[in-house]
A and B are shown apart, each in its own frame.
Chain A
Amino acid sequence: MILRAEDRVAVWGITGRQASFWTERMIAYGTCVVGGINPARPGTSHLGLPVWGRAAEAERFDVALLFVPPAAVREATLDALSARPRTVIILAEHVPLHDMMIVHVAARRAGVRIIGANTAGLVTPGAAFAGIMPAFNDRIFRPGRVGVVSRSGSLGALVCLNLVRAGYGQSAFIGVGGDTLPGTTSRDALEALEADPRTAAAVLLGEIGGGMEQEAAAFVRGMSKPVVAFIAGAAAPPGKRMGHAGAIIGAAGEGYAAKRQALEAAGAIVVATPGELPAALHDKGI
């Protein structure tokens, strides 16, 4: 879940405009991109990399990064899974839920981790990034010891900026995504940070909706590393979908208060605005 410089990345939909833009930046940053997949253009090359028609034809890769549109996610993921990579990252938003359920079962059977859907991807400052985060902007990302877990790319970027400004760098950014059925949860990401020797503390960026923050809180309780958190949506009106499919207060316990309470009871500091996170880390002795 924490991306390393040696991880080999294959990009699905590499020939698209956005995929090209971000793949060029990934390569420039040092990410080991081995090539891309486009079923319509096998045997060609793009950005100086080979383009294959499907996973079976590709060079070995550890991470499949999917730049494909939502309707193509199911087929692209099943193809990627056939090569048994370690991780499949799904960037697309609005992937049909039934497709995501199929993706999750297939990934479980293949023993492959899914990150997303609707994630901004992974960043390990100074090493590699995969996705659509401005890893190359050194006002936002610098190598350091704070791991950041976020349901949102834009808020994640703002918080990483605040950390850098306060003198903190990041050991890893893990975008778990805004989908209703995320393949990797905030709890999974915290487990990875807890086990990561380069991480000293974790910043958790949650949202209203679903039960992911409560699940994370149960893990925070037993963590050796300090956790500080911000939960977006305190001011959101109930019953309205706040942009992310997962961000709607439906059932009891999905609102702000219950999430905040669960995390605080587990020992995390929960702040009122994202700008207060660096001070909270300082309070935790980081």
Chain B
Amino acid sequence: MNLTEHEGKAVLAAAGIAVPRGRVVTSAGETADAASAGPVVVKAQVPTGKRGKAGGVRFAATPAEAAAAASALLGSSIGGHPVRAVLVEQRLPIVRELYVAVTIDPATKGPVVLLSAEGGIDVEDAAARGALRRLSIDILDGFSIAQATGLIAGLDLDARAAEVLVRLYDAWRRSDAELLEINPLAVLPDGALVAADAKLVVDDASLGRQSLKPAISPHATPAETRAAALGLNFHQLDGTVGVLANGAGLTMATLDMVRHFGGAAANFLEIGGDAYTQAKPALELVLALPGIRSLVVNFCGAYARTDVMAGGVVEAWRALSPTIPVFFSIHGTGEDEAVALVREQLGIEPFDRAEDAVKAAVEAAR
């Protein structure tokens, strides 16, 4: 989950990394107040990158300018995220900008510390020019001052930079982060280092132990919001063929089949894993989608029991009496009971091949 800049900075500050003096405010009046001590930067607090390019960062020399910048930003939308708060920060006398980050390297399955003397720019550009230093870390050994000192060698930086890197790594570990990035890390005239920005992405699987609540995307449709509350993996798409399947792989494959046979899926929804008992609420979500003209139910039970899932489908189908046609393919754990249930309770004969069920659903949606 992407956090906002000020949330990331709170994590940095707690780890002992300096951040600019600033305040998070939600009105122009408060902004003017926060800007009374001198020139400021007014920054939209949205959990998305490329904020600067989208006009989400404004400079203001006076309280009036700051208030005007806040008025323009508050209530606007950046990358689809509504701007509900701005961070008002003192402007820094920056003499040099660095890039520092810690992230996960899929190649080593471990942490990697990244450093570039060219901060404030796209890190991809720095990497392409060979201006990005990388150091793989053994997560059981940790990241030492000696390693950090080696990483900054030859870049005309002092021990303070090595200290920031080690603190950044510690903050990354403590926050279960996928990415913790400072871009730019500002070098001030006296050589002090201050995090001018912060980007923190926390591993979704760690939100519980980090005491964070999963964020609902501002792009989420009402159906997606309901699905998130039910703990279901659901994406609303713009097609006409509703899809209900178990397991991520089978659900993706079912969507692929819909497209292969010339149709367009109305949704991605999987009820595999421990969600397999949720067939009824899941189906209710799909049937309520606008534009849905047919439904394919494709179950292949391994861990998920198809008899339990089919029971949920039958129950939902009877409760909602939908008018669209439904096509089944059911195999795997519990299939005999599941097929009998669908046959007897709904009077529908499941297709033997998943492809045939999908093809029929695509044709029915035409």
**Would you call A232 and B249 a contact (CB within 8 A)?**
yes
> How far is the CB of A241 from the nearest CB of chain B, in Å?
8
**Would you call A96 and B140 a contact (CB within 8 A)?**
no
> How far is the CB of A217 from the nearest CB of chain B, in Å?
16
**Would you call A71 and B268 a contact (CB within 8 A)?**
no
Instruction: Knowing A105-B140, A158-B354, A161-B300 are in contact, say whether A152-B248 is a contact too (CB < 8 A).
Output: yes
Is A102 among interface residues, defined by CB-CB distance under 8 A? yes
Is A97 among interface residues, defined by CB-CB distance under 8 A? yes
**Would you call A154 and B353 a contact (CB within 8 A)?**
no
Is A113 among interface residues, defined by CB-CB distance under 8 A? no
Residue of B nearest to A154 (CB): B247
Instruction: Knowing A154-B272, A181-B104 are in contact, say whether A161-B332 is a contact too (CB < 8 A).
Output: yes
C-beta contact mask, A66-101 vs B, less than 8 Å → 1, else 0? 000011000000000000000000000111111011
**Would you call B256 and A235 a contact (CB within 8 A)?**
yes
**Would you call B260 and A273 a contact (CB within 8 A)?**
yes
> How far is the CB of B355 from the nearest CB of chain A, in Å?
4
Is B53 among interface residues, defined by CB-CB distance under 8 A? no
> How far is the CB of B218 from the nearest CB of chain A, in Å?
14
Task: List the A side residues contacting B333 at CB < 8 Å.
Answer: 134, 137
Is B237 among interface residues, defined by CB-CB distance under 8 A? yes
C-beta contact mask, B282-326 vs A, less than 8 Å → 1, else 0? 000000000000000000111110000000000000000000000
Which of these binds chain A: B3-11, B62-70, B106-114, B187-195? B106-114
Q: Within the complex, which residue of A98, A133, A243 is in contact with B176, where a contact is CB–CB below 8 Å?
A: A98
Q: Within the complex, which residue of A97, A106, A242 is in contact with B268, where a contact is CB–CB below 8 Å?
A: A242
Is B250 among interface residues, defined by CB-CB distance under 8 A? yes
**Would you call B355 and A242 a contact (CB within 8 A)?**
no
User: Which A131-159 residues have C-beta < 8 A from chain B?
Assistant: 132-134, 137, 139-140, 150-158
Is B23 among interface residues, defined by CB-CB distance under 8 A? no
**Would you call B268 and A236 a contact (CB within 8 A)?**
yes
Q: Cα distance A205–B64 when bound, in Å?
A: 60
> How far is the CB of A94 from the nearest CB of chain B, in Å?
4
Residue of A nearest to B210 (CB): A96
Is A282 among interface residues, defined by CB-CB distance under 8 A? no
Q: Cα distance A132–B247 when bound, in Å?
A: 13
Instruction: Knowing A154-B250, A210-B106, A243-B233 are in contact, say whether A272-B256 is a contact too (CB < 8 A).
Output: yes
Q: Cα distance A106–B140 when bound, in Å?
A: 8
Instruction: Knowing A71-B209, A137-B332 are in contact, say whether A275-B250 is a contact too (CB < 8 A).
Output: no
> How far is the CB of B258 from the nearest CB of chain A, in Å?
7
**Would you call A70 and B205 a contact (CB within 8 A)?**
yes
C-beta contact mask, B242-266 vs A, less than 8 Å → 1, else 0? 0001111111110111111000010
Is A211 among interface residues, defined by CB-CB distance under 8 A? yes
Task: List the A side residues contacting B304 at CB < 8 Å.
Answer: 154
Task: List the B side residues contacting A43 at CB < 8 Å.
Answer: none
Instruction: Knowing A93-B273, A98-B206, A181-B109 are in contact, say whether A158-B253 is a contact too (CB < 8 A).
Output: yes
Is B270 among interface residues, defined by CB-CB distance under 8 A? yes
Q: Cα distance A100–B260 when bound, in Å?
A: 36
Is B97 among interface residues, defined by CB-CB distance under 8 A? no
* Most chain B CB atoms below 10 A, which of A134, A161, A207, A233: A134
Q: Cα distance A102–B109 when bound, in Å?
A: 9
Task: List the A side residues contacting B258 at CB < 8 Å.
Answer: 235
Looking at chain A, what size class is its interface with the partner chain? 35 or more
Q: Cα distance A274–B257 when bound, in Å?
A: 9
Task: List the A side residues contacting B84 at CB < 8 Å.
Answer: none
> How far is the CB of B79 from the nearest CB of chain A, in Å?
11
Q: Within the complex, which residue of A98, A178, A244 is in contact with B139, where a contact is CB–CB below 8 Å?
A: A98
Q: Within the complex, which residue of A101, A132, A178 is in contact with B248, where a contact is CB–CB below 8 Å?
A: A178
Is B125 among interface residues, defined by CB-CB distance under 8 A? no
Is A47 among interface residues, defined by CB-CB distance under 8 A? no
Task: List the A side residues contacting B109 at CB < 8 Å.
Answer: 100-101, 104, 181, 183
Instruction: Knowing A96-B205, A105-B138, A273-B355 are in contact, say whether A243-B302 is a contact too (CB < 8 A).
Output: no
**Would you call A242 and B252 a contact (CB within 8 A)?**
yes
> How far is the CB of B113 from the nearest CB of chain A, in Å?
14
**Would you call B139 and A105 a contact (CB within 8 A)?**
yes
Is A202 among interface residues, defined by CB-CB distance under 8 A? no
Task: List the B side residues contacting A95 at CB < 8 Å.
Answer: 205
**Would you call A157 and B332 a contact (CB within 8 A)?**
yes
Instruction: Knowing A96-B176, A105-B139 are in contact, say whether A275-B252 is a contact too (CB < 8 A).
Output: no
Task: List the B side residues contacting A109 at CB < 8 Å.
Answer: 140
> How far is the CB of B73 from the nearest CB of chain A, in Å?
24
Is A280 among interface residues, defined by CB-CB distance under 8 A? no
Q: Within the complex, which residue of A105, A150, A236 is in contact with B255, where a contact is CB–CB below 8 Å?
A: A236
User: Which B86-124 residues have C-beta < 8 A from chain A?
Assistant: 104, 106, 109-111
Is A63 among interface residues, defined by CB-CB distance under 8 A? no
> How far is the CB of A22 from the nearest CB of chain B, in Å?
8
Is A51 among interface residues, defined by CB-CB distance under 8 A? no
**Would you call B248 and A242 a contact (CB within 8 A)?**
yes
18 contacts between A and B (CB under 8 A): A71-B209, A97-B205, A101-B109, A101-B111, A105-B140, A150-B249, A153-B272, A154-B246, A155-B300, A157-B331, A180-B106, A207-B252, A233-B255, A234-B260, A242-B233, A243-B268, A272-B260, A273-B260
The 10 A-B residue pairs with the shortest CB-CB distance in the complex, in nearest-first order: A152-B249, A154-B247, A243-B248, A155-B249, A154-B250, A232-B252, A132-B303, A235-B259, A158-B300, A244-B248
Please give the residue numbers on chain A whose beta carbons come within 8 Å of chain B beta carbons, in ascending order: 18, 70-71, 93-98, 100-102, 104-106, 109, 120, 132-134, 137, 139-140, 150-158, 161, 178, 180-181, 183, 205, 207-208, 210-211, 230, 232-237, 240-245, 247, 272-275
Given A157-B301, A235-B259, A242-B248, 11 more A-B residue pairs with CB atoms under 8 Å apart are: A94-B204, A96-B176, A96-B206, A156-B249, A205-B249, A232-B256, A234-B259, A234-B260, A240-B268, A243-B233, A275-B354
